């Protein structure tokens, strides 16, 4: 469609735009629109035909994808309504790791932060397995996490950049459990040039003392989280099988959670440990349902928690998406199939609007972490 560079043609286009976008328009604008259509009838018809062809091709392609997708072929067996206790990670821990796991979770349950000393030294790999087992335990530990692993001499162990030949060296004897309710949560540790923590004695007392008001807030968030999740499960229609129930959960999350983007977009709002825990870490755990904002981890943990509460055995799996971005998904078994669900829906559009993948499809996109057996 070719238009002249006249003011009249410009006015006609503006009027047509106003009509298309739903603006209120006058009788004059309607006449202008009719004139434009009459003047450029052939071009408009060609444009409309091209759009119809494009739309038809897109619809056909989507239907082809849907007809071959795992999601449309899944069974919908009846669900067992007994609550499932998620111990997938705990069951894979060795004896030494399990001892450390029980110690740390007891401290978390009792809101006892500060220095954690292990009964036996653990390696970098064991430390990472311990942290992951706690993070994915399903216990909603949104208020605390382990960091600053150290040797017996208070030297920091850089576990994130440890070389492969150092991963099995049993050198970590202690670390710090940071709690959002600690009075000294924003105190900073100091390290010298050799990575020795030099002010441990000064910061530990306040990290082990709690602020009563913050403790009450944590307990309220725990209660509110349980109440919300219980209400969601109670709302499952009676005749829903496993697949219907998971679809119901995914729709509930779509309607009730929005993505937390402050950290992923490099926000400067998070400047202290307290803000990290209260403003962001909450969004990566089940407690995100209270705040109604979730990170990818939050979506995955919520779906996993809901499935287990509804009698559908589930756990979190983590790895790298296309060997680039860290990502997590929710695992369930539907009928005889191992299914991995894109709970956060980040890659939904790239997967033909699908969120359920079988194992082969998942492995085409995700490289699982090496520390746990997901197969």
Domain ranges of the chain: 7-68, 77-83+216-368, 90-210
| Bridge partner residues of 293 (DSSP) | 258
Ranges 47-61, 99-113, 184-198, 297-311: which has the least confidence = 47-61
Q: How confident is the model at residue 312 (pLDDT cuts 50, 70, 90)?
A: very high
Neighbouring C-beta atoms of residue 194, cutoff 10 Å: 7
DSSP 130-150: HHHHHHTSSS--TTEEEEEEE
Q: How far apart are CA 340 and CA 29, in angstroms?
A: 54
Look at residue 160 in the predicted model and tell me its pLDDT.
87
% pLDDT > 90, the chain: 65
Average per-residue pLDDT for the chain:
85
Which residues, 6+ apart, have CB-to-CB distance to 317 below 8 Å? Answer: 328, 329, 330, 331, 340, 366, 368, 374
Q: Which fold, 77-83+216-368?
A: C8orf32 fold (3.10.620)
Determine whether 20 is exposed, middle or buried from the number of CB atoms within 10 Å of its CB (0-12, 13-18, 19+). Answer: exposed
Kindly tell me the sign of the dihedral angle through the C-alpha atoms of 68, 69, 72, 75.
positive
* Residue 226 confidence (pLDDT) above 60: yes
Look at residue 352 in the predicted model and tell me its pLDDT.
80
**Residue 245 or 336, more confident:** 245
Look at residue 26 in the predicted model and tell me its pLDDT.
57
Contact 113, 373 (CB under 8 A): no
Angle of CA points 326, 170, 139, to nearest 5° = 50
* Residue 97 confidence (pLDDT) above 80: yes
Neighbouring C-beta atoms of residue 146, cutoff 10 Å: 19
């Amino acid at each position: 469609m070719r238009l002249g560079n006249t003011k009249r043609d410009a006015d006609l286009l503006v009027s047509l735009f106003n009509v298309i976008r739903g603006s209120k328009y006058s009788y004059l604008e309607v006449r202008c629109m009719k004139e434009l259509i009459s003047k450029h009838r052939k071009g408009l018809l060609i444009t409309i035909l091209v759009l119809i062809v494009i739309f038809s091709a897109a619809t056909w392609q989507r239907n082809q994808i849907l007809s071959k997708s795992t999601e449309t072929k899944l069974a919908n067996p009846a669900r067992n309504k007994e609550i499932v206790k998620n111990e997938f990670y705990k069951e894979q821990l060795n004896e030494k790791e399990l001892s450390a796991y029980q110690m740390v979770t007891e401290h978390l349950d009792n809101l006892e932060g500060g220095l954690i000393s292990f009964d036996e030294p653990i390696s970098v790999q064991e430390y990472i397995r311990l942290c992951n087992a706690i993070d994915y335990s399903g216990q909603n530990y949104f208020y605390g996490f382990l960091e600053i692993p150290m040797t017996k001499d208070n030297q920091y162990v850089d576990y994130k950049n440890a070389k492969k030949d150092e991963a099995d060296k049993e050198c970590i004897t202690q670390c710090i459990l940071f709690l959002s309710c600690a009075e000294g949560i924003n105190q900073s540790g100091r390290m010298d040039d050799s990575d020795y923590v030099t002010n441990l004695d000064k910061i530990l007392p306040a990290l082990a003392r709690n602020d009563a008001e913050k403790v009450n807030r944590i307990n309220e968030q725990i209660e509110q989280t349980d109440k919300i999740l219980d209400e969601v499960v109670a709302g499952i229609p009676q005749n829903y099988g496993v697949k219907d129930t998971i679809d119901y959960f995914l729709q509930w999350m779509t309607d009730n959670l929005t993505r937390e983007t402050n950290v992923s977009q490099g926000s400067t709002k998070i400047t202290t440990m307290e803000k990290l825990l209260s403003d962001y870490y909450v969004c990566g755990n089940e407690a995100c349902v209270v705040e109604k904002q979730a990170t990818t981890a939050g979506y995955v943990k919520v779906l996993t928690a809901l499935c287990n509460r509804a009698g559908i055995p589930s756990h979190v799996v983590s790895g790298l998406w296309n060997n680039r971005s860290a990502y997590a998904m929710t695992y369930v078994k539907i009928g005889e199939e191992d299914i991995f669900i894109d709970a956060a829906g980040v890659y939904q559009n790239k997967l033909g609007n699908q969120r359920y993948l079988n194992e082969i499809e998942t492995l085409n996109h995700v490289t699982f972490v090496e520390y746990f057996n997901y197969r």
